Each structure stands twice: as C-alpha cells, then as structure tokens.
Amino acid sequence: MEKLTPILSWSAPSHPKHNRTMRWYVVFFIIILSFASYGAYTENWIFSLLMLLCGLLYPLLHDHIPPEKRIEIFLQGFLFEGTIIRWDNCTGFWLVPTPFYTELHIEFFEGKQQKTVKIQTGDTDATAIRLQIARFIPELSDRGEWFIDSIIRICKL
C-alpha cells in the first residue's frame, strides 16, 4: 500500500496547562469552604461533603500537563490520534485565537453523531493551517470559542 505524505502535521495539547498562582488556590478554597458552610448551615450534609471532596480532589486531578495530540492533514482527510476522518464527513472548521494560543476546531460526522476535534496549533502558523484546510472544507467564520471553554480559560479551571 502506498504511504501518503501529509500536507501539514503537528503535535500540540488539546487544551492548555494553566499556571495557577497561590491567589487562585486561596480564592478556590474560600469558594469551596463557602459552599460547604452553606451546606452545613442548611443541614445538607451530603452537599457539604461533596464540596469538600471536590475542593480536595480538583487540584490533585487537574494539576498535570495535558498530553500532546497529533494531527496530520492529507488530501483525502486528516488523521487525529490514529483515527482517519475523511473530508466528506466534515462540515467545516474554525480557528479560535486566544491571548496565549490558537485552537483549531474541525466539525465532522461519525455515523449520525456530530463531533468536533479540538487541538492547539502549537508552533504551526494558523494562516497556513487555514489556507490548507480551506481547500477541502469551508471555514465556519460565525463560530468561535464555546462559552464553557471561555469560562474554563478565564477561571483557569
């Protein structure tokens, strides 16, 4: 079988590693303790316990460097983390610039289910990515960063 050569390829995290300051942790624990206190005040002990568990587990579970994902762009489609997705199944793409990085989103159908691949552009030029992918699928310029992603980025969650 003939080996295909990618037009573009890069590795980057699918989401950023947030650098949290001591102030962030202090505010986080004050909020958690406030919710736990409210639960105790209303005698909702399970809520209080859940808040305390969340406050203890969240920093432990989310204080890691996100693994790098790999994407390769071909004439027929793209390869993301070992999964081949043909351009025929894609509905479009958009780029989300943020102050520290740019994210590529590609929307596609897997069967009847609509999915989105999300990866940072890393060191690869966003303009080059836009020009290459626009040859195969339309850019959805009306799309942007999802609301929940904005909250996560702003709050460094």
| Residue in the structure block whose two tokens are 């399970």 | 46
With beta carbons less than 8 A apart as the criterion, state whether 129 and 104 touch.
Answer: yes
Q: CATH for 66-155, among 1.25.40, 2.60.120, 2.60.40, 2.30.29?
A: 2.30.29
In the predicted structure, residue 3 carries a pLDDT above the cut 80: no
Using one digit for the tens of pLDDT, what is the confidence trace for 34-87?
999 999 999 999 999 999 998 888 877 777 777 888 999 999 999 998 888 999
Predicted local confidence at residue 1, as pLDDT: 38
Mean pLDDT, rounded, for 118-122:
87
Distance CA 133, CA 127 (A): 10
For 31, phi then psi, to 5°, come to -65, -45
Contacts with 124 (C-beta within 8 Å, 6 or more apart), sequence order = 8, 10, 12
| Percent of the chain scoring above 70 in pLDDT | 85
Q: Residues in the chain, how many?
A: 157
Instruction: Check: CB of residue 29 under 8 Å from CB of residue 54.
Output: no
